Amino acid sequence: MSDDVEVTDPRTPRGAPPPKRGRGARLVLVIGLMGGLTVVAATVGSWFLLKGAMGQHEGKVVDGGFLEVHLEGSLADAPGDAGFTLDPADAPLILTEVTEDIRRAAADPEVKGLYLEMDGFSGGWAAAQELHGAISAFSASGKPCHAYADAYDNKAYYVASACTDVFLAPAGVFLVTGFEITSEYYAGTFEKIGVHADFEHVGDFKTAVEPLQRTGPSEAAILAMDGMLDDLYAQFIDGIAAGRKLDAATVRAAIDDPPVTPSAALARGMVTGLKYRDEVREGMAGEERTGLKAYHAQAGNLPMGKRIAVIYAEGQIISGESGTPLFGGSMVGDRTLGELLDEVRKDEDIAALVLRVNSPGGSGLASDNIWRGVERVKEAGKPVVVSMGDYAASGGYYIAAGADHIVAQPGTLTGSIGVFGGKLNVAGLYEKLGISLHTWKRGELATVFSGTSDFNEAERAKFREFLEAFYASFLNRVSAGREVPYEAVQEVAQGRVWTGQQAKERGLVDELGGLDAAIAQARTLAQIPADEQVAIERLPKRKTFLEQILEDLEPQAAVPAEVLAVPGLRESLGQLWILDQVLGDGGVAAMMPGRIEIR
């Protein structure tokens, strides 16, 4: 496309998208009724905020010692708030900063080894693979790598298995028991409260609406989930086998009949030894340890000259500004991301762009606006490489499709090329609450987006025409970006979710790897000499504490603590809230099916 193509400005009225018609108010009624069924549970103390996602020990940098990495909870994929600090540089490190530092330490002659302590790591599987890859690279350098934990679950053990030695506390817990996914279906609940989910989808495997309309999965959903889970499980087995130098059959058998006692785990080769934490640390006799945060600070300031920008797109895709949803998490706004893309496009010192996508999708309209921003960066002569995180599905794949090169982890969940849309009819809920309704209308299709009636035949036909047109546009974007025939895209689309490995086999991804591989490819495409020093600039920049305070002063909706305290309810209501926002923005949702969390 040429630069004179008209670009929609998110700050101006957009054509004539279907009006929201009070979606938020209806959703509040549903949430309020569901929230009334909850009980009070414990709240989270503020010390978690102070501690941050990483609890690595810090101190002065000691040459010739061990690098100490302490992984606790989940690592943020994108730069976020700085926490209780005035300086954003004091904020917890993000995932790709951690992996970058571990890889740098592997080649650093001043670093003698790596000490890894696992304490309840809970990131996604692609994040676990990003860490596993960096630690494997460190181990391959010939330097010792010691991992320790009081307890290992699937993810913690997978990450630790990349070390040369894996230690477990003598009275520790070894619970590597395989994968489990539980999906929630709300049709029964909706029936009880008088809500009917009236949705249409395009793509045989676009099953995102099933949790709202069914009490269990369809055959298409089962087929897609089984295929995805089989591939992820094989990756899990193979990764552990490679790290522990065992054959895959031995690892599989150890998971099917798990060694639940520490001595059994040792006997079956799953751990190197049973030691207390102090014994492992004393085993590095006389070796000083440098905390990861202190080591990261050694990298210094950005060198002058050419830069490669890394823009992080994390969360559901919406129109407008990026932010935090009502129930937590993150949202990437097309206006916010568009401004960053424009900044990169206009900066003559930025030679290439890496777009880090960690998104399950969202608004079709917003996804298309972001796609256009990426195209303009390419038109400015700057190569664009996409690095995929845990998710780059549906709208997340849409914004990636036009890149010059796409890199994904084998365990990334991507594809889901399909769309859906519809509405929640809450007329029954109003009736249960004793509220009577009467509607006047002018125009045969005036009630097409009414929240108190289902689609009639004419409305459904018109709405489906709308969805199918957007689906065709989606396929065209992928066809052009991937340089494959439209018919070939149809075969791998249909809303089906693929792992990164499956996506590479089907031509949706070019390369398997992490952010480091994407940056290397961007450097190659930008024709930057191997001996030339290049700075990596991460965007958006972290907010300072004062910026957060000013932002928090803005009026925001609040969620009752009773709702937030109930396990699983916050996430479920968060999905409904996001869906309500997305469907109110153009009527087309390009999102993957529900919340896929593999334990």
Q: Residue ranges of the domains in the chain?
A: 23-37+304-434+448-591, 52-177+258-297
Give the span between the Cα atoms of 353 and 382, in whole angstroms. 7
Burial of 15 from C-beta contacts in 10 A (0-12 / 13-18 / 19+): exposed
Strand 196-202 versus strand 331-333 pairing type = unpaired
| Residue 546: pLDDT over 80 | no
- In this prediction, residue 440 carries a pLDDT of 94
Tokens of 221: 């959903």
Q: Which of 67-81, 189-203, 469-483 has the lowest mean pLDDT?
A: 67-81
Tokens of 370: 């972001």
Q: Which of 76-90, 124-138, 267-281, 299-313 has the lowest mean pLDDT?
A: 76-90
- In this prediction, residue 585 carries a pLDDT of 62
| Residue 233: pLDDT over 80 | yes
For the segment 447-472, the average pLDDT, to the nearest whole number, is 95
Point out which residues pair with 121 in neighbouring strands: 73
Q: Which of 5-9, 200-204, 301-305 has the lowest mean pLDDT?
A: 5-9
Q: What is the CATH number of domain 52-177+258-297?
A: 3.90.226.10
- In this prediction, residue 169 carries a pLDDT of 98
Give the span between the Cα atoms of 541 and 393, in whole angstroms. 25
Give the span between the Cα atoms of 450 and 25, in whole angstroms. 13
Give the span between the Cα atoms of 126 and 406, in whole angstroms. 15
Give the span between the Cα atoms of 322 and 313, in whole angstroms. 9
- One-letter amino acid at 337 equals L
Band of the pLDDT at 553, cuts 50, 70, 90? low
Band of the pLDDT at 306, cuts 50, 70, 90? confident
Hey, is 587 helix, strand or coil?
coil
| Residue 26: pLDDT over 50 | no
Give the span between the Cα atoms of 191 and 213, in whole angstroms. 10
Point out which residues pair with 313 in neighbouring strands: 357
Tokens 């969390």 found at: 597
* Bond preceding residue 540 cis, omega within 30 of 0: yes
Report pLDDT digits (tens) over 80-131: 754 555 455 567 899 999 999 999 999 999 999 999 999 988 889 999 999 9
The CA radius of gyration of the chain, in Å to the nearest whole number, is: 25
Tell me yes or no: is domain 23-37+304-434+448-591 CATH 3.90.226.10: yes
CB under 8 Å to 442, separation ≥6 — which residues?
A: none
For the segment 46-57, the average pLDDT, to the nearest whole number, is 35
pTM of the prediction? 0.84
| Total number of residues shown for the chain | 599
The domains spanning 23-37+304-434+448-591 and 52-177+258-297 adopt the same CATH topology = yes
Give the span between the Cα atoms of 90 and 96, in whole angstroms. 16
- One-letter amino acid at 376 equals R
Q: Which of 61-70, 165-174, 274-283, 452-461 has the lowest mean pLDDT?
A: 61-70
CB under 8 Å to 112, separation ≥6 — which residues?
A: 64, 65, 66, 143, 144, 287
How distant is the alpha carbon of residue 432 from its chain centre?
39
Report pLDDT digits (tens) over 315-329: 999 999 987 655 556
Given a contact cutoff of 8 angstroms between Cβ atoms, the answer to whether 492 and 415 are in contact is yes
Most confident listed range (58-62, 330-334, 438-442, 542-546) = 438-442
Give the span between the Cα atoms of 323 and 99, in whole angstroms. 26
- In this prediction, residue 530 carries a pLDDT of 84
Given a contact cutoff of 8 angstroms between Cβ atoms, the answer to whether 176 and 152 are in contact is yes
Angle ∠(354,10,203) on CA atoms, nearest 5: 70
| Residue 25: pLDDT over 50 | no
Tokens 């699937």 found at: 154
Given a contact cutoff of 8 angstroms between Cβ atoms, the answer to whether 149 and 119 are in contact is yes
If phi > 0 it is left, if psi is from -120 to 50 it is alpha, else beta; for residue 21 that is left
| Residue 31: pLDDT over 80 | no
Give the span between the Cα atoms of 503 and 227, in whole angstroms. 12
Q: Which of 78-82, 181-185, 306-310, 485-489 has the lowest mean pLDDT?
A: 78-82
